[in-house]
Structure 1
């Protein structure tokens, strides 16, 4: 089975746990079978591999998310990188070309495209397999998943099937309606359009060549910035007559807001937090190393991270985006392919960061033009290379690097450092990478 997972967006409606670097799909809030917490992307990837261990999974995403993907699910997953945002049709066309030209998948094979971040049960993944199998038959050019609606929602478009069969040709599509119109659609057997569909790779490649002048994946990638911003629905779905829909009646939730996200949580407190018996419908998600106490609250979400603190009525939390847009934010936490970092303190000419490197990983060999750095080893063992000189490091060791000095660090065990950056122009752009000889 071939699957393209669409992983985009900044998830500002889930601030302060999500930001421009860590989108909502990377927040670890779902308890796994072994009691550890996992994110949406980890949950989705793990379930796909459980249903089909040989599945070829490709994540269509931006460059800023690559490190978090590698950190959370490893380097085996395929990644189709969007050089810039160009809506869903260019992203899906690029990922489809990636599968054929880079991964060597036969164009006659089917592929399933779905968002990376819905909350679903195991039967959803069986449905993805059924979707792929139906697309392989070639009875239709597109096969959509139609989700049985549980209420008249204004948030989703609707699919009107021709019959009540489990698999049906599609009569028509309806845009996001009002609640009253949605009730009418549902009474006529309409299904939610959750953005899940399947097709043979050659089909979308043909559509892409009709709209874009390109030869292969590399050519399409190089021209990506010039492409028209256009949705897959508008470019492909609305112009296609041979479309089928498969009904899906299992659990499916779009976890785009704190209100919907907390509905899917199996516990009311993640992190350090307590609430008294008079609290009802309260959820605490705390990434800080300080306790949160809630008393006498109803239907409230409390979320705390190095980015900030949110205390909100759950229904009102859906309207957070313009307030987040108005904040002058600095990224305070990010996951990298080698580990993670958290900004602890910011001064006019200094920044203090806690860095955690995963065992067996290292930073790039690099230098900074405008800042000095001091590393203090808190825990773990490893080694540093500073201007070609290598030394082993252990807790208590201090390593100093002047501006222009080339340096890196390797972790033998999990390695925790405090990094102090000193300079008048501290910037993430001030970094030059080198090959380590």
Structure 2
């Protein structure tokens, strides 16, 4: 997007758990509309629209383009996206989409089906949509000049804001976050796109791939194995991705994807891997690994005892010249054992240097923070009767402000 000068105007809609990772990768200046919870693409896009309207002060006549983050494309695809504004206004359409000209009858993608007998096959008025057809149906759709639906669409900001007005929900971003549960849990395609009457599609001919499933992602991997592990010679068209420190071995396994991470283990036939999204909806557990703006952490163990007490052990890494926020907890005691590097440490009204081998005890309710002078790692052991990430009161984020508060 930067290559076609779209980066500065971009807003990323994501959940709160992804914010630190995004800032770690893209910097703190990136605009982020934070979803209070996961509720599918329609609520996410509506919330992002209120961010543009109330925070960025966008005009109601401004044209907004929505793109998924998991597309694998060339820069000229984004040039096509830039043309959506002109197409939308020229055709006086409610929605303008980008559709990819199919290279084969795929069963993996949805199709945008145009009205018949249109002279222009570059910009077409849309008749209807067809979700993931069988190969024979897909071939027939292609003969009708149908395009792959890549989930890219544009509309005037007022198109969404006016819908929100009819519901009586707030137009202000911060206020809508408080009432986010009132928005229906449904995709933007089902709630808006497939119900719209005046839709046009702009065709794109070039490389495009949806990397939102394991079977498409593995097609772009340069190696069959990432991480510790082995696949036998008779394991054909199988990929192994291992984020753990222990090896994973696949014997005589074909057309499969094997993934091992701190959050779980997946063993799936590639053809059925798109069903994963529906299955994991039934699972709910805390993340076992997270990237943060200051570094990362990995949960090593979480034990719950019969008396209600819990012990949670983490390995935490802080990147040099970064710091964990000045904070306190109301339900847990923490013990930090520094295993690597040097840093500065605040506990209530004391600031001191720390290094590998130091052990630090943080009582319940104590204000604390740590800054890495060099890359720093420590083992954190939490003790309490309810160990959750929400048990945190952040007093300030920067080290300089934390030190000033200590000196008061």
Q: TM-score, normalised by structure 1?
A: 0.79
For residue 113 of structure 2, the aligned residue among 153, 159, 164 is: 159
Once the two structures are superposed, what CA deviation does each residue of 1:232-282 show, in whole Å capped at 9, x if it has no partner?
345543454442211122222223332222112122222223445444222
1:186 matched to 2:142: yes
The Cα shift of 1:373 comes to 1.4
Does the CA contact (< 8 Å) of 1:119 and 1:264 recur in 2? no
1:100 matched to 2:48: no
- Cα distance in 2 between the residues matched to 1:158 and 1:316: 23
- Cα distance in 1 between the residues matched to 2:184 and 2:17: 22
For residue 63 of structure 2, the aligned residue among 110, 114, 117 is: 110
List aligned pairs for 1:346-357, cutoff 5 A.
346-348=302-304, 349-357=310-318
| Counterpart in the other structure of 2:307 | none
| Counterpart in the other structure of 1:374 | 335
| Counterpart in the other structure of 1:13 | none
Does the CA contact (< 8 Å) of 1:161 and 1:245 recur in 2? no
Which has the higher Rg, Structure 1 or Structure 2? Answer: 2
Does the CA contact (< 8 Å) of 1:344 and 1:353 recur in 2? yes
- Cα distance in 2 between the residues matched to 1:275 and 1:369: 48
- Cα distance in 2 between the residues matched to 1:295 and 1:177: 32
In structure 1, the gaps of 5 or more residues are 1-47
The Cα shift of 1:310 comes to 2.9
The Cα shift of 1:144 comes to 0.6
Once the two structures are superposed, what CA deviation does each residue of 1:163-205 show, in whole Å capped at 9, x if it has no partner?
2635324141134264144333222111122221112323433
Once the two structures are superposed, what CA deviation does each residue of 1:139-161 show, in whole Å capped at 9, x if it has no partner?
43321111223324265243325
Cα RMSD, aligned residues only? 2.9
1:388 matched to 2:366: no
SS of the residue corresponding to residue 54 of structure 2 reads helix
- Cα distance in 1 between the residues matched to 2:316 and 2:57: 38
The Cα shift of 1:103 comes to 1.5
For residue 247 of structure 1, the aligned residue among 189, 198, 203 is: 203
1:358 matched to 2:358: no
Q: TM-score, normalised by structure 2?
A: 0.84
In structure 2, the gaps of 5 or more residues are 305-309, 397-401
For residue 127 of structure 1, the aligned residue among 80, 85, 88 is: 80
Distance 1:313 1:387, change over 3 A: same
| Counterpart in the other structure of 1:404 | 365
- Cα distance in 1 between the residues matched to 2:219 and 2:96: 29
| Counterpart in the other structure of 2:123 | 168
- Cα distance in 2 between the residues matched to 1:378 and 1:221: 40
